[in-house]
Chain A
Amino acid sequence: MLDISPAEWTAILLSLRVAVIATLVATPFGIALAWLLARKDFWGKSMLDAVVHLPLVLPPVVTGYLLLLTFGRRGLAGAFLADHLGIVFAFRWTGAALACGVMSFPLLVRPMRLSIEAIDRRLEQAAETLGAAPFKVFFTVTLPLALPGVLAGMVLGFAKAIGEFGATITFVSNIPGETQTISSAIYSLIQTPDGDTAAGRLVMISVGLAIGALIAAEWFARRATQRLHGN
């Protein structure tokens, strides 16, 4: 049954690479944004919040198309990055990672934000009275206390990224070995005669990954409560 062909392996490994890179790159931005939304009041905050959540409610094909317009070869950001930093997104696996990162960002940020909001700010005050400068307070009190939430967000973001389909295929197409992830491979296999068994295998793998991620996220969330109560 689990006789995975080399082509399928390629898709699985590519999916993993895309999702891992997307999650790792998105995490620092996610933490910064979660902190900003949890702690600061500023003009345009609800607007920023809405923009972050947009990929969750927009049709993925729209997000993909917008990414193509912005980060494609002739897109404003795409041309700049290609000319000055040599980073090309269009029809590359890096583009798939970008699409996955954008699509999973709201799911990644949410648990981080909730865990930062749950922190007792009086603990941060106590740290200040002990001589900790604000950035030290963040790294020695805020972040460690929020860590389970940060990990939960990373796991959820990863799970979303590994299953992303619509925006990815719109932005970087479906090129085996370069941009064909598990999802787009399943899509191609379903369209091929006799592709059913192979599609079935990939479907099972993706269900397994998703369930594993949800269990892990739940576990991290439970750790978070324990941590806040100091047991």
Chain B
Amino acid sequence: MLRVDVEKKLGEFSLSASFESEGRVTGLFGASGAGKSSLINMIAGLLRPDRGTIIIDGDVVDDTAAGIHVPTWRRRIGYVFQDARLFPHLNVAQNLDYGRRMNRLAADPAQHTRVVELLDIGALLDRRPGKLSGGERQRVALGRALLSKPRLLLLDEPLGALDEARKLEILPYLVRLRDEANVPMVYVSHDVAELRQLATQIVMLRQGRVTSFGGVKVLT
């Protein structure tokens, strides 16, 4: 479960959003500049709210009144960025293993195999990120985030940098992820079709405010 109630001023722009979601995939929908990325970065802890609270899984990660701000690296979240952000000095296998090493988790070959198969990246393990296509990079980024065993997976327009064909290539993986990976997700997008396929709940943002909240039907 995710509970967000935050306010943040960023220059001229002010964000004030409050929602609570039990959904498997919470879609943050809105035009660019609506505050989607700021909101997801606050959930990730990369941005600090001016006022408010964020609760992930019953765990208070931000509470400005109580002076609580859990740093990003202790939030146990996974984050898939639009631009993948794979580590260029590590090969795919090492990228996948990074989160497990940083969190000092025991090796989990079964999960590793499952994620690698789910995302079809077994053939890429020895390659460097520079030698991957955009779609492959994004699949590896998904795997890397999943293998750090997050309790919440954040996806910030993960298909945004890809062309139509590549989007269609990745989308089925995201659907499988939603149905099989058992990790709740927050999915940022300005693409209605994408969210219709993936999201179970929608938070609609407009100029820094939540305008509607509910099932996928609010997208019409």
A residues near B (Cβ < 8 Å) are 120, 122-123, 125-134, 136-137, 140-141, 144-145, 227-231
Q: By the criterion CB–CB under 8 Å, are A227 and B102 in contact?
A: no
Q: What is the bound-complex CA distance between A125 and B156, given in angstroms?
A: 14
Given contacts A141-B87, A227-B88, A230-B86, contact A129 B128 (CB under 8 A): no
Other A-B pairs, 11, CB within 8 Å; known A122-B81, A145-B88, A231-B131: A126-B87, A127-B87, A128-B72, A129-B77, A130-B148, A131-B74, A133-B102, A136-B102, A145-B89, A228-B88, A229-B130
Q: Is the CB of B130 within 8 A of A131?
A: no
Describe A's contact surface by its main secondary structure.
helix
Which of B73, B74, B129 has the largest number of chain A CB atoms within 10 A?
B73
Contacts of A230 in B (CB 8 A): 86, 88-89, 128-131
12 example contacts (A-B, Cβ-Cβ < 8 A) are as follows A126-B81, A127-B87, A129-B44, A129-B154, A130-B144, A130-B145, A131-B73, A131-B74, A132-B98, A141-B87, A227-B88, A230-B89
Interface residues of B (CB under 8 A from A): 44, 46, 71-74, 76-79, 81, 83, 85-89, 98-99, 102-103, 128-131, 144-145, 148, 154
- B130 engages A122 (CB within 8 Å): no
Evaluate contact between A122 and B87: CB separation under 8 angstroms: no
Q: How distant is the Cα of A141 from the Cα of B153 in the complex, in angstroms?
A: 22
Chain B residues contacting A131 (CB-CB under 8 Å) are 73-74, 76, 99, 102-103, 148
B212 to chain A, nearest CB (A): 29
Chain A residue contacts of B73, Cβ below 8 A: 128-134, 137
B146 to chain A, nearest CB (A): 11
A213 CA to B86 CA, complexed, in Å: 33
B89: chain A residues at CB < 8 Å are 144-145, 227, 230
- The answer to whether A126 and B103 touch across the interface, beta carbons within 8 angstroms, is no
Residues of chain B with a CB closer than 8 A to A141's CB: 87
CB distance from B82 to the nearest CB of A (A): 10
A139 to chain B, nearest CB (A): 11
Chain B residues closer than 8 Å to A130, beta-carbon distance:
73, 78, 98-99, 102-103, 144-145, 148
With known contacts A122-B85, A227-B88, A230-B88, A129–B79 Cβ distance under 8 A: yes
